[in-house]
Structure 1
Amino acid sequence: MANVISSNPAMQDLKITFQESSLVLPLQQTEKRSFFLSNIDQILNYRIPTVSFFSANPDYPPQLVSERLKLALQKVLVPYDFIAGRFKLNQETGRLEIDCNSAGVGFVVASSEFSLAEIGDLLSPNLGFQQLAVHTLTDNLAPNDHANPPFILQVTSFKCGSFAIGMSVNHILLDGLSAKAFSQNLASQAFEGDKPFAVIPFFDRRLMSARSPPLVAFTHPEFFKPDLPTGTSGPPVFDCKKEELEFKVFKLTTTDINFLKEKAKRPETRISSFNAAATLIWQCKALSYGENQKDEERVSTFLNVVDLRSRLSPPLPEPYCGNAILVAYTSEKCQNLEKMPFSELVKMVAESPARVSDEYARSVIDWLEINRGLPCGEYMVSSWLRLGFEEVVFPWGKPQHSGPVVNHRKDICWIFPSSNNDGAINALVSLPAKEMERFESHFCNFFTSTNNSSSVSAEPTTTTISPDELVAQGLTTAI
């Protein structure tokens, strides 16, 4: 029988004191230039906040960690000069670019009055963790755009000697694999002495340019063209409706995952853990949409984030640094999602990425060249299962836990691995209260209705954020 396990309410105020809020510049002078952004880069104008927690290390007190990270940042910003730049709109082309002007990245040092033990379960979707990866700098830095650099790194110490490294990164700069490589390089430069980079990044994003002339060879229902006011220039910004949300982490153990795979089994078909978990999440989200489930014509579209590096011809260089991702879509009527065999739904989800070939991806890029569009779907699932942020080795060791921080997006679910390598899968879900109630009910009923003995847990207690709090905390950045 599936269980919903709740812990104590999340601690929403970590009693943070900000000790430093500054800009870090490249260690050496870099070339002033305009940095090309692909059409895919330009549709991802929103921030991804993440946080990694580290146990206390007597050889590396938080002050030394801050010093090492600041110097490491200065070093990596020499080759990663675009991260220290600022976004600008090219008035001639209407395209967003990065002005590599060495304006700097944000660097924040802070401390909390609590120990990690007092904060509790680090897997908790804790609103307080937003204080560990701030989106703006607190000092009055002129000009104004310097107060909101696209990349901010924060080191926060706890009274037990443990500390957190938070990053608030505009997605335009890096996708998941690029961010992992950046973290590896940052860690490598935090060691004493002159160490080589862990990964030699490939920066030329023109490999993802549109063709001339553009050739749209497919229909692309996974994108839509928004109505923009006359005279609007630059890529569109897709904002979210502001509403109160609840946040929960739904944890699937290896026993639960094996049960899902067994339910999804088809002759001579390999079922991945991600596809099994993502299908259940999509089904629960679609059926939680509204009070009235009798709308037989309502269609739910599921978006699955797909890496393009090996799908293009020729393949992109493995260390390609940029957004080499697209969304594969699966659509179905909600009444069918409720009635169809789970194995059939998993088959649909598993087959959708196969559609994203080299020609399909090029067609999307060309469509975005003609139409300033945005992703279009009810729910997007982004997998961090193979990114390996928890495996990055700093001089003070690996993270005790690493994962996404809750934000205002209710249309994206982040799936990330368990920090203790037990094979569990965690899904961070953000929904309004009534939808969360129905989501949780469908999630648990899926297991109990089939007499499964697995123990499925939704951790921890719901936390809620109001629209006013969203504005106050600067969390209205749009996807």
Structure 2
Amino acid sequence: MATILPNSAMQDLKVIFQESMLVFPAQESTGKKSIFLSNIDQILNYNVPTANFFSSNPKFPPESVAQRLKIALEKVLVLFDFMAGRLKLNQESGRLEIECNSAGAGFVVASSECSLEEIGDLGRPNLGFQQLAVHSLKNLVPDSPDDQPLCIFQITSFKCGGFAIGMSVNHILHDGISAKTFKDILASQAFEEDKPFPFTPCIDRRLLAARSPPTVEYPHPEFFKPQLPDSGPPAFDCKRETLDYIILKFTPNDINYLKQEASKDTTKKISSFDVVAALMWRCKALSYMQEDHKEKPDRVSTLLNVVDLRSRLNNPPLPQPYCGNAVLVASSSAKCADIEHGPFSILVEMVSTAPASVTSEYARSAIDWLEVHKGLPCGEYMVSSWLRLGFDQVEYPWGKPLYSCPVVSHRKDICWVFPDRHGINALVSLPPPEMEKFKFYFQSFFI
């Protein structure tokens, strides 16, 4: 049966921070400019930390990797100038913008007293990994929180000669596909030979601007309008509280079992993501606890499924190398009683068919709805798939990552699903009482 991996005992990687700096574009900009941010970008003002681990390579000691990566970043920031900029609120429009002022990206060099072997299974949600992707450079800009870099890169060497490349990136800069585009270009510039950029990204975010006037043609239950003071866009975030973290490891046999359970009432093709997402939804819905600890039998649970828009939009179409956030959410809702006692195949079908509703017309309507209402995603749980992003396939001069993963954070409302060499992993973060119920429903499904 699928495996539950609890927190690793190693909470401290004994990281020593050696150097923090700002990295600037290799060429000066011809003039300052502000980048328009779409209504999708506006609400994603939070950091996404990731870690990429590499084994020891005698040809590429960590200090050489750090130098190459810094030079590559300087080159790439000419192309991605907005990543060296800063967020600002346009007081007239009430919208966030990125000021392309070449203020710099963060770059940190660190070392750990541990070896990769001592850390053990990199797939465990080790809280120590948070030391591999710092969120701010307080030593450089301690009194200017608004002047913090929008992205920080960190090279951490281990005593075995291996190293990690950590990244803490404000989600406003990239969605998953856009981040993969950036990483491919960054890796290409880390080679010694002077290579041209493999392709040119599209950074025109006005392609996802609302229409004038906004035309909302569909109901959009996947969003709600928060009651907040009118001081800029709301952020899709959640409160910080004590959480437990687990990794759920699905082997190919586990996935086949879930697909068999899902196919009992249907002949439709079922994806691995669909069955994992449906199971995560079921466990989360049944484990949810009201503040008064009294479950309501008619409570409705809503799952949000992240949908990429690149292949869906027309008039105008969206270029594949679009760099920004070209994602919306498709929602699926059901009563918890039906989720618990109904067939698993129904949940899987809801998850698998929901993205089809996000047509080009529906997506434009959703963007216009956000223009009018300045809303946020409305759902109990979001499942974000990294299965096809290919972060672990980025080819650096020193090779591909041993392992690439999200770093645990305060997000209890998002389940990250990402590939493992032997199957699929899901990172779940929940308050301790809710986590115990989640694990119970997860394990009981396989009995």
TM-score bracket, normalised by the shorter chain, equals over 0.9
- State how far apart, in whole Å, the 2-side matches of 1:109 and 1:367 are: 43
- State how far apart, in whole Å, the 2-side matches of 1:8 and 1:83 are: 33
- State how far apart, in whole Å, the 2-side matches of 1:158 and 1:351 are: 45
8 A contact 1:103–1:146 mirrored in 2: no
- State how far apart, in whole Å, the 1-side matches of 2:220 and 2:330 are: 10
8 A contact 1:10–1:125 mirrored in 2: no
How many residues align? The count is: 442
1:446-474 alpha-carbon deviations (Å, 9 max, x no partner): 110xxxxxxxxxxxxxxxxxxxxxxxxxx
- State how far apart, in whole Å, the 1-side matches of 2:102 and 2:8 are: 43
Decide which moves more: 154-163 or 138-147: 138-147
1:298 aligned partner: 299
Displacement after TM superposition at 1:442 (Å): 0.7
2:163 alignment partner AA:
F
2:398 aligned partner: 396
2:235 aligned partner: 237
1:253 alignment partner AA:
T
2:280 aligned partner: 281
Q: State the TM-score, normalized to the length of structure 1.
A: 0.90
- State how far apart, in whole Å, the 2-side matches of 1:447 and 1:246 are: 22
2:235 alignment partner AA:
V
The alignment status of 1:270 with 2:289, answered yes or no, reads: no
- State how far apart, in whole Å, the 1-side matches of 2:312 and 2:372 are: 23
- State how far apart, in whole Å, the 2-side matches of 1:167 and 1:395 are: 18
1:375 aligned partner: 377
8 A contact 1:22–1:139 mirrored in 2: no
2:16 aligned partner: 17
1:120-149 alpha-carbon deviations (Å, 9 max, x no partner): 110010111000000011423377247621
CA 1:147–1:112 in 2, change beyond 3 Å: closer, same or farther? farther
1:104 aligned partner: 104
1:382-416 alpha-carbon deviations (Å, 9 max, x no partner): 00000000000100000000010000010000000
CA 1:168–1:441 in 2, change beyond 3 Å: closer, same or farther? same
Q: 1:256 aligns with which of 254, 271, 281?
A: 254
Decide which moves more: 131-140 or 234-243: 234-243
Q: 1:364 aligns with which of 354, 363, 366?
A: 366
Gaps of 5+ in 1: 449-479
Gaps of 5+ in 2: none
2:93 aligned partner: 93
Identity between Structure 1 and Structure 2 (%): 64
- State how far apart, in whole Å, the 1-side matches of 2:363 and 2:35 are: 22
- State how far apart, in whole Å, the 1-side matches of 2:182 and 2:271 are: 28
- State how far apart, in whole Å, the 1-side matches of 2:179 and 2:446 are: 36
- State how far apart, in whole Å, the 1-side matches of 2:16 and 2:218 are: 53
Say what the alpha-carbon RMSD is for the aligned residues.
1.6
8 A contact 2:8–2:125 mirrored in 1: no
Displacement after TM superposition at 1:345 (Å): 1.2
Q: Helix, strand or coil for the counterpart of 2:383?
A: strand
- State how far apart, in whole Å, the 1-side matches of 2:346 and 2:162 are: 47
- 1:51-70 matches, cutoff 5 A: 51-70=51-70
- State how far apart, in whole Å, the 2-side matches of 1:367 and 1:8 are: 41
Displacement after TM superposition at 1:4 (Å): 4.9
Displacement after TM superposition at 1:9 (Å): 3.5
- State how far apart, in whole Å, the 1-side matches of 2:318 and 2:201 are: 12
8 A contact 2:311–2:318 mirrored in 1: yes
1:50 aligned partner: 50
8 A contact 2:110–2:156 mirrored in 1: yes
The alignment status of 1:439 with 2:438, answered yes or no, reads: yes
CA 1:432–1:237 in 2, change beyond 3 Å: closer, same or farther? same
Displacement after TM superposition at 1:435 (Å): 1.0
The alignment status of 1:203 with 2:203, answered yes or no, reads: yes
2:365 alignment partner AA:
S
Q: 2:348 aligns with which of 322, 346, 361?
A: 346
